[in-house]
Every structure is written in structure tokens, then in C-alpha cells.
Amino acid sequence: MKLSLNFIICLVLASQFALGQQAAQEQRQSLPAAPGSRLFKAEQLLRDVETLSSAAMAGRKTGTAGGVKAREYVALRFKQSGLKFYAASPLQFFTFSEPNASAEQQGANVIGYIKGRTFPRRHIVVTAHYDHLGVRNGEIYNGADDNASGTAALFALAEYFSKHRPAHSIIFVAFDAEEGSGGGARKFVSEPPVDIRSIVLNVNLDMISRNDRNELYAAGTYHYPSLKPALEKVRASATVKLLFGHDTPDLPPAQNWTGQSDHIAFHRAKIPFIYFGVEDHKDYHKPTDDFESINRVFYVHAVETILEAVKAFDANLSALP
């Protein structure tokens, strides 16, 4: 009964989004073409960012109707990408309170996984927050780069690894409530679906779709230098400039990204992390962070680079302490 109901919900959601995408397709014809990718469907990647950052999602603020819509879309795309769920529902609910608000709020992470071939009991956790700032003073903050870009990349990676089974198990998590509190990541690390000691790495994606200098940062190697050689190999053939840094204590707080996104919850639990992201841009946390401003070539290349990095970690992690 549950299964068939889920199936019907999926069908209804799928048809709703198909209608929305038809309208979007007409508008998209004026945008520059995306480069193809030998690793994933680049068109689909962009369509996912467009859907997540559309007005229908109203800025995906935690606890709002737009946030719920975004979460349903993520769950649908996780399923379509071949991920398995630990329970009947992929949702992990939690409550949290924001610094200046009195009432508790409810958020929900979306969790799926692929079982590893060789080391099924060792887990890499690939994460991206799907929430954003919602509506302020009547303006929608669509958050295309922050962080529809990282969320859509989860689907591309999930589909790739469903077809090319990894050695380690990979858990994919779309976090809620990163903006403001980081409550979703804290909830996951305090109540993971697997033994916390089996989580060997967090790869966190937050803002990966635009940079005028073609630069993507991999932060975290200062704390976890053993992860650097695998990344250096990826860098040698990457189509973006993969840079290290933004992770040392000598930097001013805003430039040290160690505590700037969800990977901090893993770092605090002594789980190594690599965070992929770009420098802030003029539309950062502004209502103009829109789909149209994404650098389509850079974004596709950034996701390819991140996918190659996860492949490299999967191939090399068993050799690490």
C-alpha cells in the first residue's frame, strides 16, 4: 500500500515538473548552450538547477511551502537517479531554533545511498544544502548558485555512481537549514543512518556554478593533507582551475571556509572533509542569484571535476589511515 502510494505521488510530481519544464524550455532557448559531458547528462543538470531555483520554489526557505516543494523534488530526483533509501521515506526530520526566533522550526534532510562493491561498510558522504533564504521584502531569493548548484550536482553524481558502482558505499545527503544555523548537518552527524565510525570522508558542495576566473576551490587539505595527492591528480587534467586554500587559521574568519558550510559538523566529529566551492560573487545572498547568471560551461566542468575527485577518493581511501 505504502509502495503504490509512493509510486502515485512520484507520478503526480513528475507530471507537475514536466509541465513546468515545458514552459521553461521555451524561455531557455535564448540562453547559451551547455557543453555536453561524457560523465553525465549536462542538460539534465542545468534543468535541475533551473527547477530548484524557479519562482515555484520561492527561495526554498526551511519550513516554508517552497522548502517542502524543494525537498519533494530532491526526493524524486534521488529516486530517479538510482539511490536507495534507508527507510520507506528518505526524509530525516529535525527541529531547531534560529538565534533570534522564539519558536522552534522543523526541517528535513533528504538521504539516499549506493552500496559499495568492495568496502560496503565504509562510507563516503557527499552533501549539499538545498535550503536558501526564501522571500524577503517581497523579493524571492532564488539561490541558483547557493545552493541549487550543489544540490543538482548530487543527482548527477548519484546517477553516475548508480551505473558505475563505487568500491565504498556512498551516502548522498541534501541538507536543510544550512542558511543561518546548520541544523541539518548537525542532525545528520548526531544521528547518522550508519555507524558514525564507518564514515571516512565528507565531500561537501556549496556554490559551485560561477566564477569569472574559472576557479574552483577544494578546501580542507590543510586539515587533512592525506587527501591532497588524490586531488592533485584530478587537478592535472581538470577543465577548471582547481585550487587549494581557504582553510588555514591565519586567514581572517570570512576567508577561512573551515566553518562556513555544513562540512564543519563532520570536521567537529573528526571526520575528514573536502569542501568544493567558489569565491563569493556579486549576487551572493542577493535576490539576483538566478539561474540565468550561472556560468554554464564552468558549472558543467566543476561538476565533472568534483565527480573525478569522488572517484579518486573512492579508489584511494582504503590506502589511507
Query: Applying CB under 5 A, which residues contact Zn ion?
Result: 146-147, 206
- Cβ closest to Zn ion, residue 116 vs residue 277: 277
- Pick 63 or 184: Cβ nearer Zn ion: 184
Dihedral angle of Cα 93, 97, 98, 101, to the nearest 10 degrees: 130
Residues 185/255, Cβ–Cβ less than 8 Å: no
Cell of 169: 558505499
Q: Which of residues 267 and 311 has its CB atom nearest to Zn ion in the complex?
A: 267
Q: How far is the CB of 174 from Zn ion (least distance, A)?
A: 12
What is the distance of C-alpha 313 from the center of its chain? 17
Min dist. Cβ of residue 48 to Zn ion (A): 16
Name the minimum Å distance from CB 175 to Zn ion.
Answer: 10
Q: Provide the minimum distance between the beta carbon of 145 and Zn ion in the complex, in angstroms, as a whole number.
A: 8
Minimum CB distance to Zn ion smaller for 119 or for 284:
284
Whether the Cβ atoms of residue 35 and residue 9 lie closer than 8 Å to each other: no
* Least CB distance to Zn ion at residue 125 (A): 17
In the complex, what is the shortest distance from the CB of residue 147 to Zn ion, in angstroms, rounded to a whole number?
4
Ramachandran angles phi, psi of 112, nearest 5°: -140, 170
Q: How many Å apart are CA 28 and CA 33, to the nearest integer?
A: 9
Is 307 exposed, middle or buried (CB count within 10 Å of its CB: 0-12, 13-18, 19+)? buried
- Of 259, 70, 220, 39, give the one whose Cα is nearest residue 150: 70
Rounded to a whole number of angstroms, the minimum distance from the CB of residue 260 to Zn ion is: 8
CB within 8 Å of 97: residues ≥ 6 apart: 103, 104, 105
> In Å, how far are 17, 42, 76, 202 from 91, measured between CA atoms?
20, 27, 12, 19
Nearer of residues 208 and 242 to Zn ion, judged by Cβ: 208
Q: Toward Zn ion, which CB reaches closer, 169 or 202?
A: 202
Q: In the chain, how long is the greatest CA-to-CA distance?
A: 57
End-to-end Cα, the chain, rounded Å:
46
Closer residue to Zn ion, CB minimum distance, 114 or 128: 128
Q: What are phi and psi of 63, to 5 degrees?
A: 85, 0
CB of 177 to Zn ion, least distance (A): 11
Q: Is the Cβ of residue 48 or residue 206 nearer to Zn ion in the bound state?
A: 206
